[in-house]
Amino acid sequence: MKLHPTPMLDQLESGEWPSFVTGIKRLRDTHTTQRIRETTNDLLGQLEHSYQTRKGYWKGGTISVFGYGGGIIPRFSEVGDRFPHSREFHTLRVQPPAGNYYSTDILRRLADSWEKWGSGLVTFHGQTGNIMFIGATTENTQYFFNEINEYGFDLGGAGPCVRTAQSCVGSGRCEQSCTNEHDIHRRLVNNFLDEMHRPALPYKFKFKVSGCPNDCMNAIERADFAVIGTWRDDMQVNQDEVKQYVVSKGRQYLIENVITRCPTRALTLNDDDTLSVDNTDCVRCMHCLNVMPKALSPGKDRGVSLLIGGKRTLKIGDRFGTVIIPFMKLENETDYQHLVDIAEETIDFFAENALEHERIGEMIERIGLVNFLEALGIEMDPNMIVHPRENSYVRTDHWDEEAEKWFEQHPRHKKSVDAA
């Protein structure tokens, strides 16, 4: 086998950070399977060619496994004559266990299967959260899938469909977790497997689950449907630990790094080194809990918030998700069913009303949040906005009917308006 020279790539073997080039070369030079040696050799050849010319040489196509319409990113080389063994170099997107937990055994098992059918290159994980098995021929994608599907792995999403989801480490380890991220993750995604495996939506639709507002999954930024853990009651304060903190770090440090950083000035450090929290002002931003995890913990009345419409740049520029459900409990079957119902109604409305290749966030910007909320029968809440409208360009007849609705839902708000 004639090795392609890779002068530019070779420069990526120096330096301390683990080198993917070295890794690929190891497959090329020392792997026992000829197919893998040849594939990786040609892959390096084409990649070197890209580095030399500063251009990419892959083109797409459409392939999938029997019974599915998606889950694979097909790649055919535009320079396949010069690099025939990596001419077909498809990536299988395989859903990871919720929370990305693996035993070394299951990793080995996946490695063995991939060794049989693929290039020997794999990524944990892609930016959407899939295990990416990078580099299989059209034929082998099926065999590989058949094999791993037997022991519990399934393809993820590609194309205009429900995509693979992500959930943070959360309850498995993290003291900030306010909900069961992995349960939410699986119940949501596994309820939409048909929409995932047979792409038929206007465009992609992503779920992400973070156990608290630190949002380690970037759910608000990158998910069409974000589930974020939070709490409704008072945060838990361990005053002894607060005092401990003052002892070790000093009052000044605590004032400058916690008290003055609270976005709503909800914290007061009392003269006796105890901490007072104004829980009605607290917006659950997490900062003080992050700085003092021993002293401060989320409250006990926990649940999740839902935000809709995050996406990145294409067409309208980046967009964050915005709140549609400020808080909901997730304790029993009914709660979970309620969550799944909201997701279903959302996706149905999206499927019916979005334009081709329009994300749900774009759709909401086009039709207005209110229309979306009304379609789903979700009650308006001030938590959905940063502030009420600043301009008078709205037609407010039917004000009284709308006011009625509010008072019915909020009897505790006395109706002194009419009284007046």
Partner 1 sequence: MAHEERRVPTESGCPDGIQYMHPVMRENFGHWRYHEDPMPGVLRHVAESGDEIWTVRAGTQRILDLFTLRKLCEIGDKYADGYVRFTIRSNIEFMLSDGSRVEPLISALEENGFIVGGTRNSVAAISHTQGWLHCDIPATDASGVVKSMMDQLIDEFRHWNMPNRVHITTSCCQINCGGQGDIAINIQHTKPPKIDHTLVANVCERPSVVARCPVAAIRPAMVNGKPSLEVDERKCVCCGACYPPCPPMQINDPEHSKLAVWIGGNHSNARGRPCFQKLVAAGIPNNPPRWPEATAIVKRILRCYQENARDWERINDWVERIGWSRFFELSELPFTKFHIDNWRGQQKSLNASSHLRF
**Interface with ligand SRM (CB under 6 A):** 60, 73, 75, 91, 93, 125-130, 132, 156, 164, 168-169, 174-176, 204, 206, 214-216, 218, 222, 290, 311-314, 359
Binding region for partner 1 (CB under 8 A) out of 267-275, 333-341, 345-353, 366-374: 366-374
Q: Does 329 bind ligand SF4 (CB under 6 A)?
A: no
Exactly one of 318, 341, 379, 418 binds its own copies (CB under 8 A); that residue is 318
Give the CA angle between residues 220, 206, 65 to the nearest 5°: 160
The interface with ligand SF4 within residues 156-195 (CB under 6 A) comprises 168-170, 174, 176-177
Which residue, 196 or 266, has its beta carbon nearer to ligand SF4?
266
Non-local CB neighbours of 230 within 8 Å, separated by 6+ positions: 178, 212, 213, 284, 298, 302, 303, 304, 305, 327
Q: Which of residues 289-308 bind ligand SF4 (CB under 6 A)?
A: 289
Residue 39 or residue 177: which is nearer to ligand SF4 going by CB? Answer: 177
Task: Candidates 75-83, 158-166, 348-356, 388-396: pick the segment binding its own copies (CB under 8 A).
Answer: 388-396
**Using the rule CB under 6 A, is 263 a contact of ligand SF4?**
yes
Q: CA–CA distance from 43 to each of 28, 84, 85, 87, 405 (Å)?
A: 10, 9, 8, 9, 63
How many residues touch partner 1 under the rule CB under 8 A: the total is 190
What is the torsional sign of CA 99, 105, 106, 108? Answer: positive
Does the protein bind partner 1 through residue 75 (CB under 8 A)?
yes
Tokens of residue 21, six digits: 């080039």
What whole-number distance in Å separates Cα of residue 215 and Cα of residue 221? Answer: 9
Minimum separation from the CB atom of position 260 to its own copies (A): 6
Find, among 226, 75, 71, 90, the residue nearest to 164 by Cα. Answer: 71
Interaction between residue 400 and partner 1 (CB under 8 A): yes
What is the closest distance, in whole angstroms, from the C-beta atom of residue 98 to ligand SF4 in the complex? 12
Residue where the block lists tokens 């909900």: 179
Residue 400 vs residues 382, 396, 403: alpha-carbon distances, Å: 18, 9, 5
Minimum Å distance from CB 166 to ligand SRM?
A: 7
Closest distance of CB 200 from partner 1, Å? 15
**Alpha carbon distance 383, 305 (integer Å):** 10
**How far apart, in whole angstroms, are the C-alpha atoms of residue 387 and residue 399?**
19
| Residue 376 beta carbon to partner 1: minimum distance, rounded to whole angstroms | 13
Cβ closest to ligand SF4, residue 41 vs residue 176: 176
Q: Determine the Cα–Cα distance for residues 377 and 324; give it in Å rounded to an integer.
A: 11
Q: Does residue number 368 form part of the binding site for ligand SF4 (CB under 6 A)? A: no
CA distance 66 to 218: 33
Report the nearest approach of its own copies to the CB of residue 317 (Å).
Answer: 4
Peptide bond into 125 cis (omega under 30): yes
Is 390 a binding residue for its own copies by CB under 8 A? The answer is: yes
Nearest residue to 306 (alpha-carbon basis) of 388, 184, 189: 184
- Residue 172 binds which entry of its own copies, ligand SRM, partner 1, none, CB below 5-8 Å type-dependent: partner 1
Going 263 to 267 to 268 to 274, the CA torsion angle's sign is: negative
Note whether 396 binds its own copies by CB under 8 A.
Answer: no
Among 266, 307, 330, 339, binds ligand SF4 (CB under 6 A): 266
- Measured CA to CA in angstroms, residue 289 lies from 176, 230, 261 at distances of 8, 12, 12
Residue (265 or 294) nearer to its own copies, CB = 265
Instruction: Report the interface residues with ligand SF4, using CB under 6 A.
Output: 168-170, 174, 176-177, 210-212, 214-216, 262-264, 266-267, 277, 282-289
Instruction: Report the interface residues with its own copies, using CB under 8 A.
Output: 259-260, 265, 313, 317-318, 390-393
